[in-house]
Amino acid sequence: MNDTSRTILLQANGLCKDYPVRQGIIPHTVGSIKAVEDVNFALYKGETLGLVGESGSGKSTVGRLLVGLEAPTAGQVLLNGQPLGLQRPRGRGNQGTRLQMVFQDTFSSLNPRKRVGDILTAPMRYHRLVTPKTAWREACRLLEMVGLPAAAYERYPHEFSGGQRQRIGLARALSLKPELIICDEPVSALDVSIQAQILNLIRDLQQEMGLTYLFIGHGLAAVHYVSHRIAVMYLGRIVEIAPAQALFTMPAHPYTKALCDAAPVADPALRGRERTVLAGEIPSSIQPPTGCQFHPRCPHAQALCARVQPQLLPCASLPPDHLTACHFAEALLGKGREDAV
């Protein structure tokens, strides 16, 4: 399916988010953290877009901007073509019900003083999606959907394992019948076997309910497993976005290549391949490098990279849905093809 035949559910247009940096005994603003800088992408109905990048690259901030938990400094989010925030405060048509978020830390995202039943029914009652009579039945249906027994209704979040609590988080997100769920590292705190169960649940729910996901993650393997397309973030910007398989087999940005090379490979034949190893730390987002922000760590950087910010554009030798922000992407791709021969 090509991009033109699909319906856009959500569009991020030039999203920016700056946080003020305050210092002093009488705190005053001395600068700003550029957490998100000029982020543009579209989310198509029914797809999963993975969002990866190092810690501090702005992934969670993008997630919070999309659900309206924070207001952007510049840019806008369009949901079904309408700017976010211009909707009725309650009810089924409300944007708040159509966008939901699942968090990594289930201890802090589920109220420890409320029973699971109350956690699930409170948002539905607020938005008048259930009556007091139908709330219990609906909550039990949600619990069954995420693989928990109806008896979980009466219990408190601390009485569950991490994986089970994440199922409750998913059930709560599903309770408002959303179109889009932002999953912010939903499996990072879980052990590997439980990760697989939750990832499978996320995929199954998508097929059953036609959900759209933005899946934020650190582990490339988990992101690859659930995503149709993947966007790579570096220091607040998207540096590459492509169909998941294409991003792995033909990374066009040196940062993406380094991320792919850092992932363990099971195939012994590929162990001896040339790897890009990143040196140094992610720079400060208060004073980001000039030009291409990756240039101080890039093994292929040239003088132009320190001066001119590259735009996120298609590469001539790749399909049009593979975009990258690198001045020398074509040269890097050519070298990759030579190495592969």
Ligand X SMILES: Nc1ncnc2c1ncn2[C@@H]1O[C@H](COP(=O)(O)OP(=O)(O)OP(=O)(O)O)[C@@H](O)[C@H]1O
* Binding-site ranges for ligand X (CB under 6 A): 19, 33, 35, 53, 55-61, 285
User: Least distance (Å) from Mg ion to the CB of residue 234?
Assistant: 14
DSSP 311: P
Residue 285 in the binding site for Mg ion (CB under 5 A): no
109 is a contact residue toward Mg ion (CB under 5 A): no
Helix (H, G, I), strand (E, B), or coil: what is residue 172?
A: helix
Determine how β-strand 8-23 pairs with β-strand 28-44: antiparallel
C-alpha–C-alpha distance, residues 20 and 33, integer Å? 6
Asked if 60 interacts with Mg ion (CB under 5 A), we say yes
Q: Quick check: 61 binds Mg ion (CB under 5 A)?
A: no
Q: How far is the CB of 136 from ligand X (least distance, A)?
A: 36
Q: At a CB cut-off of 8 Å and minimum separation 6, what does 131 contact? A: none
Q: Using CA atoms, how far apart are residues 332 and 324, in angstroms rounded to an integer?
A: 12
Q: How far apart are CA 9 and CA 49, in angstroms?
A: 12
Nearer to ligand X, 19 or 126 (CB): 19
What are the respective helix, strand and coil percentages of the chain, to the nearest 5?
Answer: 40, 25, 40
Q: Which is nearer to Mg ion, 60 or 166 (CB)?
A: 60
Closer of 56 and 96 to ligand X (Cβ): 56
Partner whose footprint covers residue 164, from ligand X, Mg ion, none (CB < 5 to 8 Å by kind): none
- 227, interface contact from Mg ion, ligand X, none, CB < 5-8 Å by kind: none
User: Which C-beta is closer to Mg ion: that of 183 or that of 301?
Assistant: 183
The partner in contact with residue 58, picked from Mg ion, ligand X, none with C-beta cut-offs of 5 to 8 angstroms by kind, is: ligand X
Q: Residue 254's closest CA among 206, 207, 203, 297?
A: 297
* Residue 46 site contact among Mg ion, ligand X, none (CB < 5 to 8 Å, cut-off depends on kind): none
In the complex, the residues that contact Mg ion under the rule CB under 5 A are 60
